């Protein structure tokens, strides 16, 4: 099979599946070292929360041995007086890594968040030992207050709207997406044939899930404009006024373009749902929000209509921990929409949730998500594992204890910025100076780069004579570099998404030079064919 036919056979795959083929090809180059800047798995880890986690485990085991101590066995700790013993533990171990963090976190929890000491430390000790089912199943009581405080700071820029944000902690952002799509369908908020809007370009699963037979939704794209710094033009946002659109799903800052939505556009969306589309459901995936200062999620601006998805994975280097959260304000339109469903559907839902509630008709959407995550019948064993919830708490404290200096945030942002600058220096072009740029990824439009360097005719030849994935294919096959195909995210055809998270800074110089060298190879082919 020639290259063009082979490429065509792979064009229908998700870019994440195509990536595996590219890795195989790049890895076959014996004389070159493969560089994979495809998947956005960060190559750093936040150390302080982890130091605290591992030290706290020692304290928890000591508490267990106070209750019962047999060979290889301890008991379930008691909460009475545990806070005082914890403070003493921190003093005794003051020289160990993590001790000061633990002491500071305890003071913040009790003094600023108003948590009762024994209840807080008791919950954390029981949780890190993992000796009970998660109770409450949606999120542990004190954990919810700490994670909510973290989200207030990171997703609402310290200025959350009035009301209470209910949380469901889940196994990463992908689990959140799965649960939300399923529960919206089960509760009649989206049905086969319904129209939804997607803010594009977008993380590929949001393109792929709606059209599956499980959902059979009709997709309307709300398109960012590359010429307007990857923002949504007003005319695109106006599409959301169509009453046939049931929901609007977006990633902010975006993936793959890594730009947050301008405040003016957020305000337009908020005004739209307040005045004309009070029934529009908004799902915002805000995992990259911490890479942009002053970030405000749509959940902070249009709280009644918005479901928030957040993951700790990227900011803290914690993809393996699988830590995600779904947030829905208690006062929300989704609960009202469920209450207003036709009688037959409400009767069906009454039966569905009747085994877990004496008043299933009043069960809130956030609690339906929990039940549906375990097929309802297993609701009693729902919930994120409790040691994971402890790690989530400590990651939250990393930010909450650092609000004055923001040293960790600065380090994370500076690291991706250094890689971003190095990539474009290697490419030999000025980097984009976009406002609101997260720089976790960057999208390079190869056809536009070809036009800039060698003119319109060359760019047109490149588009007319090569498959859209040819550039990433050859980059892997000939240079040993793996990048994501931007077209698979509904970015421009033959664009590439470069993750700035998972390689060392000097590697991005090589990738930039490799992109430039491959483009020069194309130009030589073009010259030879004239």
Q: Based on the domain organization, do 336 and 448 belong to the same domain?
A: no
Let me know the angle formed at the C-alpha of 57 by 77 and 139, rounded to the nearest 5 degrees.
Answer: 75
Identify the domain boundary among 365, 391, 417: 391
Per residue in 243-272, pLDDT tens? 999 999 999 999 999 999 999 999 999 999
State the CATH number of the domain containing residue 475: 3.90.1150.10
Q: Based on the domain organization, do 77 and 151 belong to the same domain?
A: no
Q: Is the pLDDT of residue 292 over 70?
A: yes
In this prediction the pTM is: 0.94
Q: Is the pLDDT of residue 356 over 50?
A: yes
Q: Based on the domain organization, do 212 and 294 belong to the same domain?
A: yes
Count of domains forming the chain: 3
The proportion of the chain whose per-residue pLDDT surpasses 70, expressed as a percent, equals 94
pLDDT confidence of residue 529: 82
Is 134 inside a domain boundary? no
Q: Based on the domain organization, do 79 and 34 belong to the same domain?
A: no
pLDDT confidence of residue 16: 65
State the CATH number of the domain containing residue 319: 3.40.640.10
Mean pLDDT of 174-189: 96
Q: Based on the domain organization, do 413 and 431 belong to the same domain?
A: yes
Mean pLDDT of 45-73: 97
Could you tell me which of 467, 450, 461 has the C-alpha nearest to residue 515?
Answer: 450
Identify the domain boundary among 60, 95, 129: 129
Q: Based on the domain organization, do 20 and 52 belong to the same domain?
A: no
Task: Give the mean pLDDT of the chain.
Answer: 94
Q: Based on the domain organization, do 14 and 89 belong to the same domain?
A: no
Identify the domain boundary among 89, 109, 129: 129
Mean pLDDT of 52-65: 98
Q: Based on the domain organization, do 162 and 56 belong to the same domain?
A: no
Q: Based on the domain organization, do 120 and 268 belong to the same domain?
A: no
Which residues, 6 or more positions from 147, have their beta carbon under 8 angstroms from its beta carbon? 139, 167, 169, 325, 392, 393, 396
Question: What whole-number distance in Å separates Cα of residue 284 and Cα of residue 267?
Answer: 15
Residue 320 and residue 41 in contact, taking contact as beta carbons nearer than 8 Å: no
Per residue in 5-45, pLDDT tens? 665 666 666 666 666 666 676 665 545 567 888 888 999 99
Is 135 inside a domain boundary? no
pLDDT confidence of residue 29: 55
Q: Based on the domain organization, do 343 and 245 belong to the same domain?
A: yes
Is 370 inside a domain boundary? yes
Question: What whole-number distance in Å separates Cα of residue 14 and Cα of residue 17?
Answer: 5
Q: Is the pLDDT of residue 289 over 90?
A: yes
Domain residues for the domain of 460 are 3-40+407-529
Q: What is the DSSP letter of 229?
A: T
Is 397 inside a domain boundary? no
Q: Based on the domain organization, do 288 and 174 belong to the same domain?
A: yes
Which residues, 6 or more positions from 31, have their beta carbon under 8 angstroms from its beta carbon? none
Looking at 379-528, which runs of residues are DSSP E strands?
Answer: 441-445, 481-482, 484-485, 495-499
Is 318 inside a domain boundary? yes
pLDDT confidence of residue 34: 72
Q: Based on the domain organization, do 378 and 421 belong to the same domain?
A: no
Mean pLDDT of 390-396: 98
pLDDT confidence of residue 30: 47
Q: How many CB atoms lie within 10 A of CB 250?
A: 23
State the CATH number of the domain containing residue 107: 1.10.20.110
Is 401 inside a domain boundary? no
Question: What whole-number distance in Å separates Cα of residue 443 and Cα of residue 258?
Answer: 8
Name the one residue in this structure whose structure tokens are 């993992």: 130
pLDDT confidence of residue 91: 98
Mean pLDDT of 193-209: 94
pLDDT confidence of residue 7: 59
Is 398 inside a domain boundary? no
pLDDT confidence of residue 470: 93
Backbone φ/ψ region at 68: left (φ over 0), alpha (ψ -120 to 50), beta: beta
Could you tell me which of 17, 42, 15 has the C-alpha nearest to residue 288?
Answer: 42
Is 352 inside a domain boundary? yes
Looking at 129-266, which runs of residues are DSSP E strands?
Answer: 165-170, 195-200, 218-223, 245-251
């Amino acid at each position: 099979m020639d290259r063009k036919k082979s490429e065509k056979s792979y064009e229908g795959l998700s870019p994440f599946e195509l990536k595996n083929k590219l890795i195989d090809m790049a890895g076959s180059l014996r004389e070159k070292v493969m560089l994979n800047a495809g998947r956005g798995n960060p190559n750093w880890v936040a150390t302080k929360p982890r130091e605290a986690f591992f030290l706290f485990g020692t304290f928890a085991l000591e508490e267990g041995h106070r209750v019962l101590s047999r060979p290889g066995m301890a008991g379930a700790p008691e909460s009475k007086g545990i806070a005082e013993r914890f403070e003493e533990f921190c003093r005794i171990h003051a020289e160990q890594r993590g001790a000061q963090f633990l002491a500071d976190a305890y003071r913040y929890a009790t003094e600023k968040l108003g948590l009762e000491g024994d209840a807080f430390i008791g919950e954390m000790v029981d949780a890190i030992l993992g000796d009970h089912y998660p109770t409450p199943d949606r999120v542990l009581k004190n954990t919810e207050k700490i994670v909510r405080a973290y989200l207030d700071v990171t997703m609402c820029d310290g200025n959350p709207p009035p009301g209470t944000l209910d949380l469901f902690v889940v196994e990463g952002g992908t689990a959140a997406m799965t649960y939300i799509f399923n529960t919206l369908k089960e509760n009649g908020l989206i049905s086969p044939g319904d129209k939804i809007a997607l803010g594009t370009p977008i993380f590929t699963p949001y393109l792929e899930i709606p059209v599956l037979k499980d959902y059979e939704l009709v997709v309307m794209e709300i398109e960012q404009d590359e010429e307007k710094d990857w923002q949504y033009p007003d005319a695109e946002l106006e599409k959301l006024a169509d009453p046939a659109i049931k929901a609007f799903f977006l990633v902010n800052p975006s993936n793959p373009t890594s730009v947050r939505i301008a405040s003016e556009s957020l305000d337009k969306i908020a005004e739209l749902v307040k005045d004309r589309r009070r029934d529009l459901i908004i799902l915002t995936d805000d995992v990259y929000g911490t890479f942009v200062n002053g970030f405000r999620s749509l959940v902070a601006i249009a709280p009644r209509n918005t479901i928030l998805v957040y993951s700790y994975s990227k900011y803290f280097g914690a993809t393996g921990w699988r830590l995600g959260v779904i947030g829905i304000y208690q006062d929300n339109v989704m609960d009202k929409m469920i209450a207003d469903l036709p009688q037959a559907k409400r009767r069906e839902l009454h039966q569905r949730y009747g085994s877990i509630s004496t008043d299933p008709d009043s069960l809130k959407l956030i609690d339906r998500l929990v039940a549906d995550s375990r097929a309802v019948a297993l609701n009693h064993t729902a919930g994120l594992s409790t040691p994971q919830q402890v790690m989530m708490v400590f990651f939250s404290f990393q930010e909450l204890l650092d609000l004055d200096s923001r040293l960790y945030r600065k380090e994370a942002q500076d690291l991706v910025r250094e890689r971003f600058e190095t990539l474009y220096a290697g490419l030999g072009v000025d980097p984009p100076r976009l406002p609101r740029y997260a720089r976790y990824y960057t999208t390079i439009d190869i056809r536009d780069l070809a036009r800039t360097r060698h003119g319109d005719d060359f760019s047109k030849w490149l588009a007319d004579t090569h498959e859209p994935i040819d550039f990433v294919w050859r980059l892997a096959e000939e240079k040993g570099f793996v990048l994501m195909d931007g077209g698979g995210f509904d970015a421009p055809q033959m664009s590439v998404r470069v993750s700035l998270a998972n390689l060392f800074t000097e590697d991005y110089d090589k990738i930039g030079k490799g992109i430039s060298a491959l483009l020069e190879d194309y130009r030589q082919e073009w010259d030879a064919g004239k």
